[in-house]
């Protein structure tokens, strides 16, 4: 929350006094061999597994494809700007590019959340379909255009876990008074359910769980959770993740910087983001598989399912929260309607395809 | 089947008398502005929705990224070589590149089927994870290396439908005597269940269903099925697709042609295949959603679920068939073991993530 406040202040001070965009250097387009050097600031610790290695891969692909005509230096959170100032830094041209998550910028516009993940919303396969073939990307670009930014999908973690708990969750009563690290709309839902939602960086979570400062925390999924050692300080690992069913990351590019690139380098940037977008989900799929097995078999983790009446109440509260965001202005209404329509059709189709297949395969192997 | 026989003959005549690979032109690597013109032959009608538009997109991305230094001309099936001769054409260097499906080449090596889809195997998200982070791609390259080919993932249709039937399927009895268009291992399973599996191209299926030459056909999913008009000639649309839970397409590149490219163009080819691999799944996800809705609401299609005892028998027969392929040689054993291991871990993880989420979201919205 303190980040959010700092954020709003920075925005009020800096964001509104937008500098003149630099003059476009037309010679750039005329000299096909011109070299470019870009900075890429991120919201993650340098080389953090999955989230932080994705922008490194992006930079390396772009450099290979461009024969080093576009060199990209990647910065971890805090190295050039803090984690939650990536949006402003790229918007203002301090850095040409950024990697983070759209829902970190709800201080700018609440509807950014639709471009990461909303409770009971689209999963990874669906949000990619919506973005690239359901009108999502055009809406996202419209939302970011006033900030002089062009967004691209930047990876996906898949369905996240509901989190680590030191309290059994058998009914809504058990959420009352629960202190849980859970950001975004999920946090708002937990608050409405009578809990207290806390926002804190990943590196403080282990100690906070151990000392009882918080009773529960969500993070990502088995791969990243195992690395942080939550199984040593929490009693139960709950599923299914209802609050972030397919968290999409983002690449953002400063519009002026992008327009200064010749067409081939623009294409290289765009196609590399698309490749990395898939690559991250591939990595999470494979590594979550392995990590879950290790958590259960080696560390004896107790995996529990949230009871249906609890999920049902969380779903009602989520709908309330989403409805409030969806009616702020014309653009938020159009985004919310587009997502809702895509979700309705996806649910109908995936009921007879992906879901039915998962179920059939599992039942037969029992 | 006639293709398969023709195939084996062509292979015996040509495949074994492999020509000397052309001498590498070292000057290519030294002149960074050298132009290349490639042919890309495909197993699909030119611009066939989804399957056929993917290689066109690939060519256009490569041309933009390379500033036309690598130009790629895409050929529909039959324009340069027939649909089922893509593998040989690229292997022999008649064409530098191809787009098709690995399981068309079971005449070369039965285990190619693992790189498209096997009954009750991996879905799209899983096969991408296995390929890129589970050892799959290295095994695929080992399998294709003797043919002078480098394979890349080339798109995915998602879970396919079980197909269109003019006979209700209530028990295994109903499969006896069933004439069904179903290729690959699925076809072998239907044969073992007492039916007759038929292989015929897509453009003959409508008439064959209409005139009763066949009783049933699988094709892809709502998007492609609607276009072929099966709802006009079939009574029931069955799910879940058990035989191709995540059909992966392939790009293949002639190894000599690839090695003649400088490093930047090699990277451009590789990254463009990765982007198109995801793009096709995005397109199928969005368009299947829409098409299913149209089939049900506009055309009154009756969607039916295969009964669990039938799925259970099909699963047993599938395991038999896969087991036979899995013990042909050292490489087939290693591929089968790698897939089986990845499937086991995926099932455990997706049970508490993707599947649990699909179920929770659906139940709550009922």
What is the tens place of the pLDDT at every residue in A154-195?
A: 999 999 999 999 999 999 999 999 999 998 899 999 999 999
What's the average model confidence in pLDDT over A142-163?
98
Task: State the helix-helix crossing angle for A330-352 and A354-365, rounded to 10 degrees.
Answer: 40
Would you call A16 an interface residue with chain B, using a CB distance cutoff of 8 Å?
Answer: no
pLDDT score for B366: 64
Cis, peptide link before residue A240, omega less than 30° from 0:
yes
Q: What CA–CA distance (Å, rounded) separates B129 from A355?
A: 18
Residues 6+ away with beta carbon under 8 Å from B99: B40, B41, B42, B43, B44, B54, B55, B58, B86, B154, B249, B250, B251, B252
pLDDT digits (tens, 9 = 90+) for B193-237: 999 999 887 789 999 999 999 999 999 999 999 999 999 999 999
Task: State the helix-helix crossing angle for B330-352 and B136-144, rounded to 10 degrees.
Answer: 150
Which is nearest to B248 in space by CA: B67, B54, B107, B108? B54
For chain A positions 54-93, those within 8 Å of chain B (CB to CB) are 61, 64-67
pLDDT score for B30: 55
Phi, psi of A196 (to 5 degrees): -125, 120
SS3 B243: coil
Is it the case that residue A30 has pLDDT exceeding 90?
Answer: no
For chain B positions 95-134, those within 8 Å of chain A (CB to CB) are 120, 123-126, 128-134
Where in chain B do CATH 3.40.190.10 domains reside? 160-242+301-329
What's the average model confidence in pLDDT over A23-44?
75
What's the average model confidence in pLDDT over B108-116?
95
Is it the case that residue A90 has pLDDT exceeding 70?
Answer: yes
Which is nearest to B154 in space by CA: B98, B198, B208? B98
- By DSSP bridging, strand B163-165 and strand B248-254 are unpaired
Which is nearest to B113 in space by CA: B59, B56, B189? B189
Tokens at A362, concatenated: 């599992």
At A5, the pLDDT band (50, 70, 90 cuts) reads very low
Hey, which residues does B264 pair with through a beta bridge?
Answer: none
pLDDT score for B293: 96
For chain A positions 129-188, those within 8 Å of chain B (CB to CB) are 129-134, 158-159, 161
Residue A358 with chain B: CB contacts under 8 Å:
123, 350-351, 354-355, 358
What's the average model confidence in pLDDT over A276-305?
97
What's the average model confidence in pLDDT over A230-247?
97
pLDDT score for B18: 35
Residues 6+ away with beta carbon under 8 Å from B20: none
Please give the share of chain B, as a percent, with pLDDT higher than 70. Answer: 91
Secondary structure, 3-state, B45-98 = CCCCCCCCHHHHHHHHHHHHHCCCCEEEEEECCCCCCCHHHHHHHHHCCCCCEE
With residues binned 3-state (H G I as helix, E B as strand, rest as coil), the percentages for chain A, rounded to 5, are 55, 15, 30
The mean predicted confidence, pLDDT, of chain B is 91
pLDDT score for B33: 81
Which is nearest to A326 in space by CA: A312, A341, A313? A341
* Cα A103 to the center of its chain, rounded Å: 7
Please judge whether A289 and B348 are an interchain contact, meaning their C-beta atoms are less than 8 angstroms apart.
Answer: yes
What's the average model confidence in pLDDT over B80-87?
96
Where in chain B do CATH 3.40.190.170 domains reside? 34-157+246-286
Q: Which is more confident, A18 or B321?
A: B321
Radius of gyration of chain A (CA): 21
Please judge whether B242 and A286 are an interchain contact, meaning their C-beta atoms are less than 8 angstroms apart.
Answer: no
What's the average model confidence in pLDDT over A98-105?
96
Please judge whether A349 and B292 are an interchain contact, meaning their C-beta atoms are less than 8 angstroms apart.
Answer: yes
Phi, psi of A320 (to 5 degrees): -55, -50
Widest distance between CA atoms in chain A: 67
What's the average model confidence in pLDDT over A215-241?
97
Which is nearest to A356 in space by CA: B164, B161, B168? B161
Is it the case that residue A35 has pLDDT exceeding 80?
Answer: yes
What DSSP state is assigned to residue B240? -
At A94, the pLDDT band (50, 70, 90 cuts) reads very high
Is it the case that residue B45 has pLDDT exceeding 80?
Answer: yes
Residue B135 with chain A: CB contacts under 8 Å:
none
Among chain B residues, CA nearest to A65: B264
pLDDT score for B179: 98
Mutate to test the interface with A, among B70, B220, B286 (most CBs of A within 10 A): B286
Which is nearest to B186 in space by CA: B50, B51, B322, B305? B322
Please judge whether A267 and B351 are an interchain contact, meaning their C-beta atoms are less than 8 angstroms apart.
Answer: no
Would you call B31 an interface residue with chain A, using a CB distance cutoff of 8 Å?
Answer: no
Of B274, B281, B305, the CB nearest to A275: B274
* Cα B294 to the center of its chain, rounded Å: 25
- Contact between residue B259 and residue B148 where contact means Cβ atoms under 8 Å apart: no
Please judge whether B267 and A61 are an interchain contact, meaning their C-beta atoms are less than 8 angstroms apart.
Answer: yes
Across chain A, how many H-helices and E-strands are there?
14, 11
Residues 6+ away with beta carbon under 8 Å from A93: A19, A21, A22, A148, A254, A256, A257
Is it the case that residue A201 has pLDDT exceeding 90?
Answer: no
Q: What CA–CA distance (Å, rounded) separates B209 from B236?
A: 12
Q: Which is more confident, B342 or B20?
A: B342
CATH number, domain A163-242+300-337: 3.40.190.10
Which is nearest to A154 in space by CA: A196, A104, A202? A104
Residues 6+ away with beta carbon under 8 Å from B293: A345, A348, A349
Which is nearest to B97 in space by CA: B135, B128, B59, B129? B59
At B17, the pLDDT band (50, 70, 90 cuts) reads very low
What's the average model confidence in pLDDT over B238-243?
97
Work out the number of other CB atoms within 10 angstroms of the CB of residue A8: 13
CATH of B34-157+246-286, one of 3.40.50.720, 3.30.70.20, 3.40.190.170, 1.20.1090.10: 3.40.190.170
Task: State the helix-helix crossing angle for B354-365 and A354-365, rounded to 10 degrees.
Answer: 120
Residues 6+ away with beta carbon under 8 Å from A204: none
Give the CA distances from residue B235 to residues A349, B304, B309, B354, in Å, rounded to whole numbers and listed in that order: 19, 10, 22, 32
Range name among A16-25, A164-173, B54-63 with the lowest pLDDT average:
A16-25
Is it the case that residue A364 has pLDDT exceeding 50?
Answer: yes
Of A240, A346, A361, the CB nearest to B356: A240
Residue B67 with chain A: CB contacts under 8 Å:
32, 262-264
pLDDT score for A3: 37
ipTM of this model?
Answer: 0.91
pLDDT score for B22: 43
Which is nearest to A48 in space by CA: A104, A100, A89, A94? A100
pLDDT score for B184: 85
Q: Which is more confident, B5 or B301?
A: B301
Is it the case that residue B21 has pLDDT exceeding 70?
Answer: no
Q: What CA–CA distance (Å, rounded) separates B280 from B289?
A: 14
Q: What CA–CA distance (Å, rounded) separates B1 from B285?
A: 31
Helices (H), A93-204: 124-133, 136-144, 184-192
Please judge whether B275 and A271 are an interchain contact, meaning their C-beta atoms are less than 8 angstroms apart.
Answer: yes
For B160-242+301-329, give the CATH class. Answer: alpha beta
Of B66, B286, B357, the CB nearest to A123: B357
Distance from CA of B106 to the nearest CA of A (A): 25
pLDDT score for B318: 97
Among chain B residues, CA nearest to A347: B362
For chain B positions 288-307, those within 8 Å of chain A (CB to CB) are 288-290, 292-293, 303, 305
**Cα dihedral sign, B138-B143-B148-B150:** negative
How many beta-carbon pairs under 8 angstroms link A with B? 243
Of A120, A348, A362, the CB nearest to B364: A120
Helices (H), chain B: 2-10, 26-30, 53-65, 86-91, 124-133, 136-144, 184-192, 205-210, 222-228, 255-260, 263-297, 308-325, 330-352, 354-365
């Amino acid at each position: 929350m303190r980040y959010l406040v700092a954020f709003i202040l920075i925005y009020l001070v800096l964001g509104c006094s937008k500098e003149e965009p630099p003059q476009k250097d037309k010679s750039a387009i005329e000299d096909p061999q011109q070299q470019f050097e870009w900075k890429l600031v991120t919201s993650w610790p340098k080389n953090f597994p999955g989230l932080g290695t994705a922008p490194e891969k992006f930079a390396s692909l772009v450099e290979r494809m461009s024969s080093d005509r576009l060199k990209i230096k990647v910065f971890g959170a805090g190295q050039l700007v803090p984690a939650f100032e990536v949006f402003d830094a790229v918007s203002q041209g301090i850095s040409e590019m950024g990697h983070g998550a759209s829902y970190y910028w709800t201080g700018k516009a609440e509807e950014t959340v639709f471009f990461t993940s909303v409770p009971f919303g689209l999963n990874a396969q669906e949000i990619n379909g919506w973005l690239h073939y359901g009108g999502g990307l055009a809406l996202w670009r419209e939302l970011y255009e006033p900030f002089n930014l062009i967004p691209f999908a930047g990876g996906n973690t898949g369905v996240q876990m509901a989190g680590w708990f030191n309290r059994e969750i058998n009914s809504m009563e058990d959420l009352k008074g629960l202190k849980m690290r859970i950001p975004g709309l999920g946090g708002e839902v937990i608050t409405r359910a009578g809990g207290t939602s806390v926002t804190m960086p990943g590196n403080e979570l282990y100690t906070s769980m151990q000392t009882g400062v918080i009773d529960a925390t969500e993070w990502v999924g088995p791969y990243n959770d195992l690395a942080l050692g939550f199984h040593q300080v929490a009693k139960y690992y709950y599923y299914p993740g209802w609050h972030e069913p397919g968290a999409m990351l983002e690449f953002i590019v400063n519009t002026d910087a992008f327009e200064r690139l010749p067409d081939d380098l623009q294409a290289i940037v765009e196609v590399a983001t698309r490749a990395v977008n898939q690559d991250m989900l591939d990595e999470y799929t494979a590594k979550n598989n392995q990590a879950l097995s290790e958590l259960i078999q080696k560390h004896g983790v107790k995996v529990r399912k949230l009871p249906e009446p609890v999920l049902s109440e969380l779903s009602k509260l989520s709908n309330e929260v989403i409805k409030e965001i969806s009616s702020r202005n014309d653009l938020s209404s159009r985004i919310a309607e587009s997502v809702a329509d895509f979700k309705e059709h996806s649910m109908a189709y995936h009921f007879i395809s992906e879901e039915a297949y998962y179920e059939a395969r599992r039942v037969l192997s029992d």
